[in-house]
Amino acid sequence: MTDTQKRDNRKKEEEYNDSGSLYDIGSTDEDNLYTLPEDSDNDSVENENRSSDYSESESGYEDGDYEEEEDSEDDEEEDDEEEENETRRGNLFALMFKIMSTPVEGWKELKRRHYTVEELASGLFYPMIAFVSISEFADKFYTNSSISDCLLKGVGRFVSFFFGYFTVVLLSGIFLPKSVKEAMKKDIGKEFVMMNLSTMALFFMALNLFPMFDAILVFLPIWTIYLIYKGVRILRVPVSVESRTKVILTFLIIGAPLLWEWLMGLFLNF
């Protein structure tokens, strides 16, 4: 073998070794690049598991503890609201007597409390007209009236006050001045009518229970007229139509129940 051939063989071997080393390096790089994502994936999965475990334990704490606290707070708020509503309903009768004793302060108190129409109706007006209806049975103890007659009178009395309220509200929108009509459509206007009718029901109940004092008690509706005159100002009636408003409301509030009672007497014959 000549020197030139040996040189050529050495060059080929060197080239072969160089290419092999390059291949090996590339393979190791590829392996390294391939194995690194596996480790990172495993780490991410472990981190996700840990975070999920922590979130579950944390959410379990929140759901367990905070829901109980919220439920207890809601129960306390409901209890407070029920107690407040019972107190407000109980104070309605006291408020009626306050209006009767000191009309100016009583009517102002009614306006400050901001009752709804439903509260005043269920807490005062409906019970009062129910009481006056039941008081009609007292006539059986003073006269020879039958139970059926007392029942008819009680129904007629209840209907006269019940429909009397709606009659007042309806006719006030027709006969009252324009500046007052809007006030009567509000809660304070309807409550004003209910409160005055409740005092009338109280006076009629006194007449039924104590007929021996009818010569004195028959003038009690005049007290209601006095309360109407003192309470018109809470409706913010203009001074120019205040007197006219007082007269119209007096005729409506006093006359509407009496009108319905007369009509019921014609139909029920009592």
Tell me the average pLDDT across 3-26: 55
pLDDT, greater one: 236 or 85: 236
- pLDDT (tens digit per residue) in 167-190: 999 999 899 998 899 889 999 999
Which among 162, 184, 187 is positioned nearest to 173, based on CA atoms? 184
Query: What's the token pair of residue 257?
Result: 């129940």
pLDDT over threshold 80, residue 85: no
Confidence of residue 144 (pLDDT cuts 50, 70, 90): confident
Helix axes 147-175, 242-268, angle to 10 degrees: 150
pLDDT over threshold 70, residue 3: no
pLDDT of 80:
55
d(CA 198, CA 132): 10
Which among 81, 119, 112 is positioned nearest to 98, based on CA atoms? 112
User: CB-based burial of residue 21 (10 Å sphere; 0-12 exposed, 13-18 middle, 19+ buried)?
Assistant: exposed
What percent of the chain is predicted at pLDDT more than 90? 51
Q: Which residue has the tokens 């809601």?
A: 74
Tell me the average pLDDT across 4-25: 56
Tell me the average pLDDT across 137-145: 85
pLDDT of 252:
96
Which range, of 32-36, 188-192, 215-219, 249-253, averages the lowest pLDDT? 32-36
Angular region, 177: left φ>0, alpha ψ -120 to 50, beta rest? beta
Listed in sequence order, the residues at least 6 apart from 258 whose beta carbon sits closer than 8 Å to its beta carbon are: 160
Tell me the average pLDDT across 76-84: 56
- pLDDT (tens digit per residue) in 23-73: 444 444 444 444 444 444 445 445 555 544 444 444 443 444 434 444 555
